[in-house]
Amino acid sequence: MSRTIIEKLWDSHVVQEQPGAPALLYIDLHLVHEVTSPQAFQDLRERGLKVRRPDLTIATADHSIPTTDRSLPIVDEIAARQLAQLEANCAEFGIRCLGVHSDRQGIVHVIGPELGLTQPGMTVVCGDSHTATHGAFGALAFGIGTSEVENVLATQCLLQRRSKTYQVKVDGQLAPGVTAKDIILALIARVGIGGGTGSVFEYTGSTIRGLGMEERMTVCNMSIEAGARAGLVAPDDTTFEYLCGRPHAPKGAAWDEALARWRQLPTDAGASYDQSITIDGAALEPMITYGTNPGMGVPIGAPVPEPSRMADPIGRESVAKALAYMGLQGGRPVLGLPVDVVFIGSCTNSRISDLRAAAAILKGRKVNPKTRVLVVPGSQEIKRQAIAEGLPEIFRAAGCEWREPGCSMCIAMNGDQLSPGQYSVSTSNRNFEGRQGKGARTFLASPLTAAASAITGVVTDVRTLL
């Protein structure tokens, strides 16, 4: 029978299904970070349990780690304690930890792929909702809570219910200035932030096929922002070329065997999805969010909605509340509004291609003196690569801050944050109230839009600078 890749991944990982219970699903790769794991390790300790498969588990420090000079002590004592706890837990339970001083440290969803740990056909979990990033490789990758982190540490398994299959087909050639980030922001604006609830997205179509691996990761990363359990792209030669030669990718005969298996993964001809949507990639424009969830997005020149014209009372109230928080007026565009801070980074847009895109706009130009710009590479490896390409010099010459890797201002746990009322153009994934600091106001956009806005100091359509 014809199956989608989503069904193939599911079927090949079901350990057992008992009547009246969810399926027991095997997990091939478990990524761990400092924020959602300490309580799980503590419970293991109290129950006298071990980590079943340390060889399928890896940890890094990303959420609460400062992005300042790593040779200095960490000022925030609570964060320092949490980071030390991660290293202690990993040492005690035999897990490799790419901690604060590791030369492989980075955002958890950046290091998995770059080490070649994330591979097609896998199930990947992490106590982090942006785990869908790894779906770019044709893996079933999803975020879990701390209780489930503990379950996976102890048993390498999870109790799961089968999700619905949802095809997101994007066809056509992207216009100049339009990026992977704009594809996913447009999708979320269209289906809403609950539109994918209960489903796994498979991104298909010529636009998706034409994206590089880092761009596919950007798209898959924000699947959760449409409520989807996961999002993935079937593996192809682009995937295999990216993986080949990476530290943990199979080598020699094992590579050939893996390749043969991976080529069986794509959705069979004739397989059907529970739901499908088609997006015209050629018609997309650079997108920007105006509100307090990632679904509140518009093409960059378009006016934001007018709440008084909305029918549903709670929906109207929610948009009015969002606009009030953002200090915006319904019916007007955000284009041209002043920007206090530009953040280029996060598990969505901190990879080398993102930095190159931003640098291409910033090269030979100056950041507006009223705007602070933070550029935060996703990992130590990306930092090294950026240095080799001379990108930090471009950023510094333009007036940007070039910082150490971590989640940074995406989640604002580490001291990198906006002041109340400030506006940012941010390449991260969430614009929730207070996400980038108490009272912070976030416009989500692509690295190109972020770099363009950094130069002008106002929300800017990058196409005017190309």
Partner 1 sequence: MKPFTDFESRIVPLAINNIDTDQIIPARFLKTVSKQGLDKQLFCDWRYDAAGAPRPEFILNQERVRGAQVLLAGDNFGCGSSREHAPWALTQFGFRAVVSTSFADIFKQNSLKNSLLPIVVPPDVHAELFAAVAADPDAKVKIDLPRQTLTTPGGRTVEFPIDSFSKHCLLNGVDELGYIMQQEAAIAGYEAARVGSIDTRG
Name every residue whose Cβ is closer than 8 Å to that of residue 135 and which is 6 or more positions away in sequence.
141, 220, 223, 230, 231, 232, 233
157 vs 458 by CB, closer to partner 1:
157
CA distance 132 to 228: 9
Quick one: tokens of 76?
């925030």
- CA angle, 313 as apex, 307 and 316 as ends, to 5°? 20
260 vs 388 by CB, closer to partner 1:
260
Reduce the DSSP state of residue 197 to 3 states and report it.
Answer: strand
**Total interface residues for partner 1 by CB under 8 A:** 82
* Residues 125 to 154 in contact with partner 1, rule: CB under 8 A: 127-129, 143-148, 150-151, 154
275 binding partner 1? (CB under 8 A) = no
66, 113, 250, 392: which one binds partner 1 (CB under 8 A) = 250
Nearest approach, Cβ of 361 to partner 1 (angstroms)?
29
CA distance 297 to 190: 9
CA distance 89 to 51: 11
Stretch that binds partner 1, among 235-243, 348-356, 362-370, 427-435 (CB under 8 A): 427-435
Rg (Cα) of the chain, in Å, rounded? Answer: 21
50, 332, 438, 466: which one binds partner 1 (CB under 8 A) = 438
Euclidean distance between the first and final Cα of the chain, in Å? 49
- CA angle, 463 as apex, 426 and 185 as ends, to 5°? 40
81 binding partner 1? (CB under 8 A) = yes
Residue at token pair 């298996």: 261
CA distance 407 to 404: 10
Q: Amino acid identity, residue 169? A: K
32 vs 361 by CB, closer to partner 1:
32
132 vs 391 by CB, closer to partner 1:
132
381 binding partner 1? (CB under 8 A) = no
Stretch that binds partner 1, among 67-75, 156-164, 235-243, 269-277 (CB under 8 A): 156-164
24 binding partner 1? (CB under 8 A) = yes
CB atoms within 10 A of CB 61: 28
* Residues 309 to 348 in contact with partner 1, rule: CB under 8 A: 314-315, 317-318, 321
119 binding partner 1? (CB under 8 A) = yes
* Residues 213 to 232 in contact with partner 1, rule: CB under 8 A: 224, 227, 229
409 binding partner 1? (CB under 8 A) = no
Nearest approach, Cβ of 299 to partner 1 (angstroms)?
22
Nearest approach, Cβ of 238 to partner 1 (angstroms)?
20
- CA angle, 182 as apex, 340 and 348 as ends, to 5°? 70
Nearest approach, Cβ of 460 to partner 1 (angstroms)?
27
